Structure 1
Amino acid sequence: MKHTLLLLLLFTCSIGFSQTKVSGVVNDAFGDPVAFANVIFKDSNEGTITNEDGRFYLESDETYSTLLFSFVGYATQEMELNQRATYDIKVILEEEAASLDEVVVFSGKTSKKNNPAIDILKKIWENRRENGVKKFKQYQYDKYEKLEFDLNTIDSGLIKSRVFKGMEFVFDQVDTSNVTGNTYLPIFINEAYSKVYGDNILKEEKDVLEGNKNSGFNNNQTLIAFIKDLYKEYDVYDNYLKFFDKAFTSPLSTTGVDVYNYVLLDSAYRDNKWCYNIVYYPRRKNELTFKGDFWVNDTTWAIKEINLQASKSANLNWVREVYIEQEFDVLNDSIFLITRDYFLSDFSFRKKEGARGIYGKRTTLFDNYVFDIPKDKSFYSEQVDPYQYEVYNRPDEFWEQRRMEQLSKDEKGVYKMLDTLKTVPRFKTLYNLGATLASGYYEMGNYDLGPVFSVFGFNEAEGLRIRLGGRTYFSQNDPWRLEVFGAYGFRDERFKYGLSAKWLLDRRTRLIVFAGNRKDVEQTGASLTNSNDVLGRSLASSSLISVGANDRLTRINLTTAGFEMEPSKNLIFRVTGSYRTLRSATDTFSLDYFDENGEIQSRIQQPEIEFSVNFTPGKKTSGYGVEQTIINDGDYPTFFLGYSLGLQGVLGGDFEYKKLQSLYTQPWNIGGLGRLYSTVEVGKIFDPVPLALLSPVPGNQTYFSLYNSFTNLDYYEFVSDTYASVHLQHNFGGRIFSRIPWIRKFNLREVIGFRAVYGEISEENIAINASNIMYQAPGDVYYEYSIGIGNIFKVFRIDFNFRGNYFNNPDARKFGVTGIFGFSF
């Protein structure tokens, strides 16, 4: 993401090179816009249609002198063009009197009955599973993909501003978008060529990357992967198309008749195939829908061409425009195979037309289809080195032969321009600023200082806390990494520290060895499924403000060592040995317990061995080093299973026990109803242990909305040795608020939550307790629920939290208000 923020620091100018450019608006005699009217250069096949507001933009590399405007039921109108660029054209179409008795002009909401467009749509539903590569047992094809970032919409005043002093040459490579009509400057391009193999019987697919070429910075793999995830693969035949973590209703969806109006506009030959042209547009505002048209064949009912443009009123942040084009070719006179997929999005802080923004574009071309050549299942499961030097350093001849679409003059110039830009001192300063804000680390050669956002903290044990740290960082593909921090509390006047090291021994199986030591203050009552990450630390121990006293804190000295490996993609096995010393960090909190002799002890020394497996199918990562960046965070299921063995007598260990923990979390896109997050945790400790080794139900005494915690519980209000919990949180994405006229314009989003936990505590564990905590487990299921309003100013959500039961607990919090900041689409 740091490269994404970096791109916001650059701008483009308003100069274009196309020969003929036109833009404007088409209205009828009453002044109302004419949506989806045809706009064509006379004596050519180059044209477009107006949007739902009657606006259009069209350009061509050729020189034309006449523009044609037409629509069903209106007289065709011609307009002479006296110059290469003609903007703000205003056209009025007159109704064609001779055809008024023959033609029905659709406007507003169209009928669902006796509508020929919907009859055709039903034919598409019946045949949609029989098209494309799904018709064959096996398939192969070549794929060329071009990802691009362009900066758009800038005035001459900013071009000449001090910010760009010494960097004026970046504006030498500009062009004009044929979708939006805005000038843009390409500033980032990534090209990839691969061979794709698939087997519909085995339900396997493999994408073998053969070449990758980047413009700009060597370490931009995260940016590339981030863009690819935004524009992930989709199928227009699916009911919902997922972009930006949102589920848009496809115009080909079986539920489309509830959210779209359909109009049968035309029929004609498209590449020797008779096709129907259907225009569609949303029935309501503020929903995640598109507008556009598609051509569908009259015998196979397969899509020949389709374009989709996101509704400008869609409840979507930071994205001003989304435009998609797909083209299909015909095989054996009946099978339609995709040949071109174009996706453009216009990112901007404001949706106003004149606002500055960034285009993100992906063009994918498909060729050389081959079918029914089987490969062994081992071919699809074979692990290979994910990073091969030659793949990322192919010569120019390789790209000249395999590019399925030649780069434009301006795109070619990007490679040279960015090489020059990296040598400009002012740009280096802007780059470092953007990188620090995005990553949280300040680059100092091969060492990153940070995280800068955790420098200050506060809790009852330490008072004001200052923390400084950093990590080694040579590149995103570092085979080893060291990380260290030091912290000081002004109340306890103690120094804390942490040190960890990781080393990637084998890149193919991702065999990693790790070790570290941390001496710190920790809130062990903030989570159920614990991590032995030596530098892991709960926000609950260092939040600046909290509800009530945050004094139930533990001093921990933790040493760990172990190894992990990933024999199959996203399946990780880990073995960790740890040794920890635990004691209370405040005078008001006790971890005391009775030892075997009945004497009270205040400190615990405990060695432990943990065996765990973590499976995250669908997780996408960037980088090939010891640490990888997760690209689609929160967009895949997680399965965790851990078994821990406490050792007594080894290295002075105090307790022998066995502990089993498991976790399952899953995000769900519920079609047009929004997005649901679900988590289930269960665990059991099989032997008597004191409070410090039990499983406290995670409370939350901060003012932050923390998923997977119980907002109205104090830390250690419940403790258990056997537990089961469930957390549900659903974001409707504004579906309800969009139906309320006076609130619709704010694009707010509704969020509801429910969380519950069941727990037990054994008599043996109660018997050894000598602390000042009264053990209580939620033998009756404890539950909470919440109602939230999200997308406030696009960055804030406020939650109103209600306790469901156990109101008689001391100082029970029946109601609370929490909030959370975050950037989301």
Structure 2
Amino acid sequence: MKIKLTLISILFCAISLVAQTKVKGIITDIDNIPIPYCSIQFNGSTEGTTSNENGGFYLESKEDWKELKISFIGFKTLIIPLAAKINYNLKFTLEEETDALKEIIIVTGKQPKKNNPAIDILRKIWAQKRKNGLSHFNQYQYKKYTKVEFDLNTIDKKLQQKKIFKGLEFVFKDIDTSSVTGKTFLPVFLNEGLSEVYGDNILKKEKEVLIANQNSGFNKDQQLINYIDDLYSEYNIYDNYLKIFDKSFVSPLSKTGINNYNYVLADSTYIGKKWCYNIIYYPRRKNELTFKGNFWVNDSTFAVKEINLQVVKNANINWVKDVYIEQEFELLNDSIFVLKRDYLLSDFALSKKDKSRGVYGKKTTIYKDYVFNKPLKDERFYDKKVFTANEDSYSKPKEFWNENRLEELNENEKGIYKLIDTLKTVKKFKNINKAVQTAYSGYFEIDALNIDYGPIFSTFGFNDVEGLRVRVGGRTYKSTNDLFRLEAYTAYGFKDKNLKYGFQAKWLVNKKNRFIITGGKKNDIEQIGATLTATTDVLGRSDGSSSLIGTGTNDKLTKINITTLTGEIEPTPNLILKLSANYKTLSSASDTFSLDYNDADATTGISSKIRQLETVFSAGYYPKRKMSGFGVQRDAANTDFTQYFTQITRGSKNIFDSDFNYTKVQFSFFKLWEIGGLGRLKTSLETGKTFGEVPLGLLSVAPGNQTYFIFNNTFNLLNFYEFTTDKYASFHLEHNFNGRIFSRIPLLKKTKLRTVIGFKTFIGNISDKNIALNTTGNSNEILLRAPSKDPYYEYSVGVANIFKILRVDFNFRGNYLDNPEARKFGITAGLRFNF
């Protein structure tokens, strides 16, 4: 969890590279009106760009060019001599072409869909669309080299003179300039990866084998490496949608592109030995997830030879000021094009203003040494999974990299490794790094003891039983890949004046199948009516137990004393099997809440405490999940994987004085659906049944939410224990339109707000025997009821992306309005740091 902050905390270093030709300027017509989306190229080359919405552009090349070519259909082409290598603050005026294309008159603004030569070419691309040239071969193999770099950009004297850099002035020795944006930057992080990719189109299988990986200062940090891989996921320009930073952008080559883009046939020339057309494209509407740019396409195969894509500034995406993509394809024979080079630059910033500072993220991928139709690998090779880290891959010597890189490092990239090693010896840098990591991870590292204090954000809480609650805790932590970890905490309530505690130890016994033994104990107060499926993690705690503010009295809390021993194994990646033995006692923590049940063996005929031994078996399957690290505790590196989970709990009577015999079977399912330009849909289903007679503390309670905050898989307008069941089904649906609705409303499109709608329903039943067991006549007992005939439901309409981080939901209750203290309407909010 420290990776994102690690990237930010090392933004202090530098080196340089000087390009041969640089041009920066603005293009207008004779009335001084800026002309967007013009084609700008170094004359005689295919190196070029397009002007932005304000007519501005920046173009740079490593070559020495003497002329600049500016063109746009409807205007006369302009050839400008370049007097110097660096040409800034230039202004160019285009004159209208009176005889241009008599079939149609193409000017700036919306372009016609009919009789447009660019769209005629686009239709031929669709007809001969290639997902990848590799699909034409039975088997394929190639080398893949990936280089990811992060830079601090917009470096000026004001920044260099800030107090935070005192003692670190040496990092500003040399400053480079971006070839895409023209801004100054300092390289701060570099990650290199080299792998072999094998594929078999007959078997429909592909596998990437890591050969080597290294980065500046963080070798073997698999969490960081996986995060970078997920941040810059791969994409195919021929797909209808390109997924970038969890957003689905409409591809300019898709069949739906003509509804989202304007297309202009701008030029044609030879690229190598092939005649190619140049097509400029730009969005038809603002605020949508689209690009601007141009591409070169072959006139016979209609395969793309080169393409560049730039996210428009008014696109509804957070924290990213600019995204620029270049792809170059290689001609293998007269008809097959394969990807040769892929370059992506992203400008992360808090503001989209031109002068705002930010962080460049650059990813360059080189594809080389293609081999085809050699069935060197069988099906067992593709099915064999890698369970452990290949330590040798992360410790290759310098000589190996010098011989095997598919693209040489430039001078500033070479200097990053040395510079980071130097920075790690500077005390001020180490202090800054630790402060940022603490703020993000929630843990404060005590390096000398290999211990982390925290989580610091759980220090304070409040409920009606404990009053103000103070919690302190910590964990052993030597590295992310520790094989053993011990965690512990203690808490104190100033109202009940009781001390609580919990501790847990985990040991990774076998790396290959990830056999883990976990043991722990907890004595605390919890809101067990806030979740349906209980966790075997004794340090887990429901958010409803100690929220500082709520919608009503939070006194229905339970004293829980639990001891647990768990063994888990991962026989195949993303399939986790667990077997646990738990012994727990449950009793009410409040004088106004009763867990009493009828007990013929008790002296009074009523018992107030539950003693229960449980055996719990669970199986979780998470296809396409990516994990960070190889230690006893790992984190998911992505969030878009499907989740299947089933749990069987068996309660055994009389063993260790246990009270009940029962079996509880539960199943849950979660899936995130990407629906192209319409946004993202989250669906979750959970169902369960308890066989046997059990008291309230062991029944299934519809998870209520008595806070003003958004919590997943809870019902925002249900109070705790409003519905209690022994058989239930729960369904949640949430759709985020990613700004598509607000972008169509004139007065709201600039706000970048996003609409979120939700629907939740719960149905269940409780048997007469369980009602009788829990009916004792106690004035504080819960009235047991279940929505057995009409499913309970509620729906919501939310506005997200307020100030980029805030989401507010307006929740409406659909039925059961006559229940005591039923809430018909409520508002919940939450912070969401999303792109």
TM range (shorter): over 0.9
Alignment partner, residue 774 of structure 1 = 783
* 1:342-491 matched pairs, under 5 angstroms: 342-374=343-375, 375-445=377-447, 446-491=450-495
Corresponding position: 1:527 with 2:527: no
* 1:198-237 matched pairs, under 5 angstroms: 198-218=199-219, 220-237=221-238
Distance 1:608 1:451, change over 3 A: same
Alignment partner, residue 587 of structure 1 = 591
* CA–CA distance in structure 2, aligned partners of residues 98 and 252 of structure 1: 30
* CA–CA distance in structure 2, aligned partners of residues 152 and 508 of structure 1: 43
> What are the superposed Cα offsets for residues 208-232 of structure 1, whole Å, 9 maximum, x if unpaired?
1010011023464333322221210
Whether the 8 Å contact between 1:290 and 1:308 is mirrored in structure 2 is yes
* CA–CA distance in structure 1, aligned partners of residues 509 and 394 of structure 2: 22
Corresponding position: 1:618 with 2:624: yes
Instruction: Note the C-alpha offset of 1:429.
Output: 1.0
Instruction: Note the C-alpha offset of 1:132.
Output: 1.5
Whether the 8 Å contact between 1:470 and 1:484 is mirrored in structure 2 is yes
Instruction: Note the C-alpha offset of 1:46.
Output: 4.4
**Percent same amino acid among aligned pairs?**
55
Instruction: Note the C-alpha offset of 1:207.
Output: 1.0
* CA–CA distance in structure 2, aligned partners of residues 142 and 677 of structure 1: 37
Q: Which amino acid aligns with 1:514?
A: T
Whether the 8 Å contact between 2:50 and 2:294 is mirrored in structure 1 is no
Aligned length: 824
Q: Which amino acid aligns with 1:591?
A: L
Whether the 8 Å contact between 2:612 and 2:653 is mirrored in structure 1 is yes
> What are the superposed Cα offsets for residues 303-359 of structure 1, whole Å, 9 maximum, x if unpaired?
211111111110000000011111111223211111111111100000001000001
Alignment partner, residue 693 of structure 1 = 698
Alignment partner, residue 650 of structure 1 = 655
Q: Which amino acid aligns with 1:525?
A: G
Distance 1:800 1:385, change over 3 A: closer
* CA–CA distance in structure 2, aligned partners of residues 238 and 672 of structure 1: 13
Q: Which amino acid aligns with 1:714?
A: N
* CA–CA distance in structure 1, aligned partners of residues 553 and 697 of structure 2: 19
SS of match in other structure, 1:128: coil
Whether the 8 Å contact between 1:695 and 1:721 is mirrored in structure 2 is yes
Whether the 8 Å contact between 1:558 and 1:579 is mirrored in structure 2 is yes
Alignment partner, residue 677 of structure 1 = 682
Corresponding position: 1:752 with 2:754: no
Moved more, 616-625 or 6-15: 6-15
* CA–CA distance in structure 1, aligned partners of residues 746 and 14 of structure 2: 39
Corresponding position: 1:728 with 2:733: yes
> What are the superposed Cα offsets for residues 710-750 of structure 1, whole Å, 9 maximum, x if unpaired?
10000000000000110001111111111111111111000
Distance 1:16 1:215, change over 3 A: closer
* CA–CA distance in structure 1, aligned partners of residues 162 and 361 of structure 2: 25
* CA–CA distance in structure 1, aligned partners of residues 204 and 307 of structure 2: 27
Instruction: Note the C-alpha offset of 1:613.
Output: 0.7
Match of 1:799 among 801, 805, 809: 809
> What are the superposed Cα offsets for residues 410-446 of structure 1, whole Å, 9 maximum, x if unpaired?
0000000000000111111110111011111111111
* CA–CA distance in structure 2, aligned partners of residues 390 and 201 of structure 1: 32
Match of 1:787 among 771, 784, 797: 797
TM-score relative to the length of structure 1 = 0.97
Q: Which amino acid aligns with 2:636?
A: I
Whether the 8 Å contact between 2:292 and 2:309 is mirrored in structure 1 is yes
Alignment partner, residue 815 of structure 1 = 825
Instruction: Note the C-alpha offset of 1:453.
Output: 0.5
* CA–CA distance in structure 2, aligned partners of residues 736 and 175 of structure 1: 41
* CA–CA distance in structure 1, aligned partners of residues 385 and 135 of structure 2: 26
Moved more, 96-105 or 398-407: 96-105
Whether the 8 Å contact between 1:13 and 1:152 is mirrored in structure 2 is no
Alignment partner, residue 605 of structure 1 = 611
Instruction: Note the C-alpha offset of 1:97.
Output: 4.7
Match of 2:547 among 543, 546, 551: 543
Instruction: Note the C-alpha offset of 1:78.
Output: 4.5
Alignment partner, residue 721 of structure 2 = 716
Whether the 8 Å contact between 1:593 and 1:601 is mirrored in structure 2 is yes
SS of match in other structure, 1:286: coil
Instruction: Note the C-alpha offset of 1:130.
Output: 6.2
* CA–CA distance in structure 2, aligned partners of residues 513 and 563 of structure 1: 5
Whether the 8 Å contact between 1:131 and 1:302 is mirrored in structure 2 is no
Instruction: Note the C-alpha offset of 1:237.
Output: 1.0
* CA–CA distance in structure 1, aligned partners of residues 174 and 570 of structure 2: 44
Match of 1:571 among 564, 575, 585: 575
Distance 1:447 1:515, change over 3 A: same
* CA–CA distance in structure 2, aligned partners of residues 792 and 439 of structure 1: 24
Whether the 8 Å contact between 1:12 and 1:184 is mirrored in structure 2 is no
Q: Which amino acid aligns with 2:476?
A: T
* CA–CA distance in structure 2, aligned partners of residues 75 and 403 of structure 1: 45
Q: Which amino acid aligns with 2:429?
A: F
TM-score relative to the length of structure 2 = 0.96
Match of 2:556 among 538, 552, 561: 552
Alignment partner, residue 35 of structure 1 = 36
Alignment partner, residue 258 of structure 1 = 259
* CA–CA distance in structure 2, aligned partners of residues 220 and 172 of structure 1: 29
* CA–CA distance in structure 1, aligned partners of residues 506 and 166 of structure 2: 43
> What are the superposed Cα offsets for residues 122-160 of structure 1, whole Å, 9 maximum, x if unpaired?
222222256421222222111100111111002202202
* CA–CA distance in structure 2, aligned partners of residues 126 and 107 of structure 1: 28
* CA–CA distance in structure 1, aligned partners of residues 675 and 97 of structure 2: 46
Instruction: Note the C-alpha offset of 1:101.
Output: 5.3
* CA–CA distance in structure 1, aligned partners of residues 387 and 397 of structure 2: 21
Instruction: Note the C-alpha offset of 1:162.
Output: 1.6
Whether the 8 Å contact between 2:12 and 2:188 is mirrored in structure 1 is no
Instruction: Note the C-alpha offset of 1:588.
Output: 0.5
Instruction: Note the C-alpha offset of 1:534.
Output: 1.0
> What are the superposed Cα offsets for residues 613-661 of structure 1, whole Å, 9 maximum, x if unpaired?
101111111111111121213x111000111111111111111111110
Instruction: Note the C-alpha offset of 1:95.
Output: 2.6
Distance 1:63 1:267, change over 3 A: closer
SS of match in other structure, 1:741: coil
Whether the 8 Å contact between 2:74 and 2:106 is mirrored in structure 1 is yes
* CA–CA distance in structure 1, aligned partners of residues 61 and 773 of structure 2: 83
